[in-house]
Amino acid sequence: MPTLEAPEERLRKFKYRGKDASMRRQQRIAVSLQLRKAKKDEQVLKRRNITNLSPDPASEEGTKGVSLTLQEIINGVNASDPDLCFQATQAARKILSRERNPPLKLIVEAGLIPRLVEFLKSSLLPCLQFEAAWALTNIASGTSEQTRAVVEGGAIQPLVELLSSPDMTVCEQAVWALGNIAGDGPEFRDFVISSNAIPHLLALISSTIPITFLRNITWTLSNLCRNKNPYPCKRAVKQMLPVLFRLLQHQDSEVLSDTCWALSYLTEGCNERIGQVVNMGVLPRLVQLMTSSELNVLTPSLRTVGNIVTGTDHQTQVAIDAGILIVLPQLLLHPKSSIQKEAAWALSNVAAGPHQHIQQLIASNTLPPLVALLKNGDFKVQKEAVWTVANFTTGGTMDQLLQLVHSGVLEPLVNLLTIPDTKFVVIILDIISFLLQAAQKLSEKENLCLLIEELGGVDRIKALQFHENHQVALTALSIIENHFPEEEENGTILLSWTKIMNS
């Protein structure tokens, strides 16, 4: 019965204390996929330009009153007179820049793209280059089919060449167009990379360029880092990482946001890819950005650090040394549940490490806010908190498990036994079973049994013996049979076994 959220391997892991910590952490990556799906729209893949960045305000003014029909645009774009070409291209750009229902499909079907691509090469007419690049930017902001039409029209190489244009507005519009193409998916992203766009993009970054231009470059770089299957090639990543490190020191929130998103994409892969980013020394700054009051910076910086702690124990320790466990307890109490959820997810990966990491988690006073989330958080947040406790339970020492119990974790866990999600009910029962086994070794079992009974846990576990889900019923039955044998009176165990065997 594997699902994306709780595959069987992850359910089984709680029954075996000796599992390798890195394996436990890797198993948590399945949950990150769910988080990613919920967050798809947080960074825009493609953007239409609906503002006026014209390099020649006079030319804009001169055509302000001109309104051409689609046929007139087609005729003008295909004319030999440069003035008619410019007028028609600008008219096409204007209708493609409408906020509502721009006629992208009509322009593509009219066959204008090859001609617009030709105009990109008109180095003596920067205004025409600009209008053509803007029109192609907006076509590429549409569906994958429309983006493909731009690519197959031969736009990528001329756009890359425009990154060296002496006209800054032409250059910036080319950056934007390439960002839209790269944002469509790994195929076109790799086309842009193989056209040698990255060195040209990086060469544009300086302390003197306007902030709007820098934002566009950073966003385009983030799209060049985006998408898996396949990931961007290692050479491209190696080219971009030093510049992303520099951009991470910027103060502009949009630049920071897109830089953090870029790093989040680069850390979604294997430990080697995570290592490439960690070795750049980005973690102290990322942890600092996790304290930002601006959600567009906090979200991707938290995402990136959360990805990093899915890596090796060493990579996680570097994150701990950078202060992640100082910030995560605060984020567990963040007013937005989406941040609480991501913070709990990151924490669950720290808890999946060796007992030294768990001790640092305890020392950072993380357990009180974690228990508060288990009690009062949204259900999706509670599930991430349950994973944290489950990983803690699997990897902690006996003394650490006692501290977990003393933190008050059992009360919310017992209350969550009534949730309809059977997979998480099994996980909670496994946690309780594991804590009882640990208490038995410490000669504390009687006290723990009394606590569970006082919290109403025994009655709830007894009731779960009759649950329609086999795994829930068997796990509950095992707890009652092994740890509350007095409950065998009145035939409870016999009835449970009879129900399970007959169902």
pLDDT in tens, 390-428: 999 999 999 999 999 999 999 999 999 999 999 999 999
CB atoms closer than 10 angstroms to residue 269: 20
How far is residue 216 from each of residues 174, 294, 298, 421, measured CA to CA in Å?
10, 19, 20, 44
Q: Exposure of 326 by Cβ count < 10 A (0-12 exposed, 13-18 middle, 19+ buried)?
A: middle
In the chain, how long is the greatest CA-to-CA distance?
A: 98
Question: What distance lies between CA 25 and its chain's CA centroid?
Answer: 17
Q: What phi, psi does 269 have (nearest 5°)?
A: -100, -145
pLDDT at 143: 96
Rounded Cα gap, residues 216 and 299, in angstroms? 20
Cα torsion for 24, 308, 398, 493, to the nearest 10°?
-40
**Hey, what are 500's tokens?**
């399970």
The one-letter amino acid code at 36 reads R
Q: What is the DSSP string of 130-180?
A: HHHHHHHHHHHTS-HHHHHHHHHTT-HHHHHHHTT-S-HHHHHHHHHHHHH
Angle at 306 between CA 305 and CA 307, to 5 degrees: 90
Rounded Cα gap, residues 226 and 45, in angstroms? 9
Task: Summarize pLDDT for 157-213 with one digit per residue, the tens.
Answer: 999 999 999 999 999 999 999 999 999 999 999 999 999 999 999 999 999 999 999
pLDDT at 38: 34
Q: Are 164 and 155 spatial neighbours (Cβ–Cβ below 8 Å)?
A: no
Rounded Cα gap, residues 255 and 211, in angstroms? 9
Low-confidence ranges of the chain (pLDDT < 50): 1-19, 26-41, 54-55, 57-59, 61-63, 65, 490-503
pLDDT at 18: 34
Rounded Cα gap, residues 176 and 81, in angstroms? 28
Q: What phi, psi does 493 have (nearest 5°)?
A: -65, -45
The residue count for the chain: 503
pTM higher than 0.85 for the full model? yes
pLDDT at 485: 82
pLDDT at 51: 67
Q: Return the axis-axis angle of helices 234-247 and 253-266, rounded to nearest 10°.
A: 150
The SS3 assignment for 332 reads: coil
Which residue stretches of 279-334 are H helix? 283-289, 295-308, 313-321, 324-331
- Select from 263, 252, 265 the least CA-distant residue to 209: 252
The one-letter amino acid code at 364 reads S
The one-letter amino acid code at 194 reads S
